[in-house]
Structure 1
C-alpha cells in the first residue's frame, strides 16, 4: 500500500520555509528481499526469522537504508521533486521497522539559499506516530531559469 502526495517538481523559486511533503508505505517481506538483492546486504536479521528472534530486535527488521530510501523518494518525487540533486544527508535510526509496518516518511523545508539553489530539509520517518528515523538533507533544487 502506498499513499503519497502528487509527484512532480517544485522549483527553487516556489519553495517556502515550512513546506512539507510525505508518503506512506507498508514495508513488505518482498520489499526487504528485493532490497537485500539490490544492496547485496543479506544480513540474516532482515531475512531469517529464527536468527532474528535471538537478536535484540526479537524478530526480523527492515534494512535501515530501505527506510531511508523513502525519504529519498519524497525528495526526488515531491519536494523539491524531479531534477533535484542530493548533496548530503544525515540519518539517525531510532527504532526498527518491521515487515508489515506502515512508514510515514516526511520532509520539511527548514532552510533556503536561493542564490545557490540549496534547500535544507528536516527528514523523519514514523511508525504508528513514533519516530524511527530522523535526519537532515541538503539538496540542489531545480530552477525555472535552467529549463
Structure 2
C-alpha cells in the first residue's frame, strides 16, 4: 500500500505527528539563517536575567516543526502551504522535545483546501504553540 493519499481519501479527524528535540545547534543555526540574534536565544548571561531564567529557542522553530508536520499530513502529491495562524503559549527550552500534532478539521472540496488544527507540545504535554493551518492539495 502506498503512503500517498488523494484529497478524496483524506478524512476529517486524520492526525499526523512529528517531533524533535531542540538542541543548542538548532538555535544557533536558526539565528544564523534568519539573523535573529536576540539575546533571549544566544546570550545565557542576558537571558538568565529574564523571567525564563535562561535561553529559550526561537518561537518560529516550533513553527518549523509545524511545517514539517504539514508536509507529512499532505501524504504526498504537490501540496501548497497557504497559511498558518500561530499563538506562542509557552517557551521552548534548549533540550526540550517538541511534538506537533496536526488534525484535519475541515475540507473545502470546491477549492481543494484542507484546514488543520496544529498543536505543538513539549515533553511534559505543555502546549507551546497553538494554531491553524491551511493547505491546498491536488
TM-score (norm 1): 0.87
Deviations 1:66-100 (A, max 9, x none): 11110000111x11144211111100000000000
Q: Cα–Cα, structure 1 residues 119 and 44, in superposed 2: closer, same or farther, change >3 Å?
A: same
Q: Cα–Cα, structure 1 residues 45 and 116, in superposed 2: closer, same or farther, change >3 Å?
A: same
CA distance in 2, matches of 1:64, 1:55: 16
CA distance in 1, matches of 2:25, 2:75: 26
Tell me the equivalent position of 1:138: 134
Q: Secondary structure at the match of 1:134?
A: strand
Q: CA deviation at 1:10?
A: 3.1
TM-score (norm 2): 0.93
Q: Cα–Cα, structure 1 residues 56 and 9, in superposed 2: closer, same or farther, change >3 Å?
A: farther
Runs of 4+ in 1 over 3 A off after TM superposition: none
CA distance in 2, matches of 1:136, 1:9: 23
Q: Secondary structure at the match of 1:115?
A: helix
- Can you give the 5+ residue segments of structure 2 that lack an aligned partner in the other structure? none
State yes or no: 1:129 paired with 2:125: yes
Tell me the equivalent position of 1:108: 103
CA distance in 2, matches of 1:50, 1:37: 20
Q: Secondary structure at the match of 2:69?
A: helix
